[in-house]
Amino acid sequence: MFHKEGYKIIFISIISFIVVLLLADKFVHWHWLRITIQLIAIFLFVMILQFFRNPNRRIVPNVNQILAPVDGKVVVIEEVFEEEYFKDKRLQVSIFMSPINVHVTRYAASGTIKYSKYHPGKYLVAWHPKASTENERTTVVIETAQFGEIMYRQIAGALAKRIVNYAEEGQQVTQGDDAGFIKFGSRVDLYLPLGTKVDVVLQQNAVGNQTVIASK
């Protein structure tokens, strides 16, 4: 199962893959070179397919939990000053996605979208300390029943060139539903109220819609 954001790229990749295989078979006379080209084409095609995969992870929403919005590694758990929306201290939990991770963004909790904004920016590597404030990004705030307002921020990485964000202000969203997509490498930051019980540790591999980030 593939995410809808990948349909166009996958279709173009299929056509390109077939063309490369046919051209290599017809015009490349050195056997070793022909095989090398075809293997590279197969590898790139498989990478594109796995990047846009969208595993079916249906859940029963739980108001007492904040779930991982994406797949990846937990790289930050710290108290920070959030200056865009809250303008006070928050607990930041960041998940870094490598190109081989599933890149679907899912709503970490159910609630009402209070704020949704896109910011153009740079393409620093996603783990760079300034990536949260200088890279291309979207910021979304959800008003939840148990945790109050929580924020998540989709951040483009060095390879990511497009962030897709489905959240609209005033919209009612359900935990686990698609919230967007980040194409080719990225990171997602969660900003939680101070004192929130965090259930993950640094360097832990998180799984979107399965790993509990925080709980009441």
Return the active site residues: 186
| Amino acid, res. 29 | H
The answer to whether 5 and 52 have CB atoms below 8 angstroms apart is yes
Torsion of CA 28, 31, 33, 39, to 10 degrees: 100
What's the CA gap between 153 and 215, in Å, rounded?
Answer: 20
For residue 207, which of 102, 107, 54 has the smallest C-alpha distance? Answer: 102
What's the CA gap between 17 and 165, in Å, rounded?
Answer: 29
Tell me phi and psi for residue 132, to 5 degrees.
-65, -25
Residues with Cβ within 8 Å of 123's Cβ and at least 6 positions away in sequence, in order, are 135, 136, 156, 157, 158, 159, 160, 161
For residue 14, which of 27, 2, 26, 29 has the smallest C-alpha distance? Answer: 2
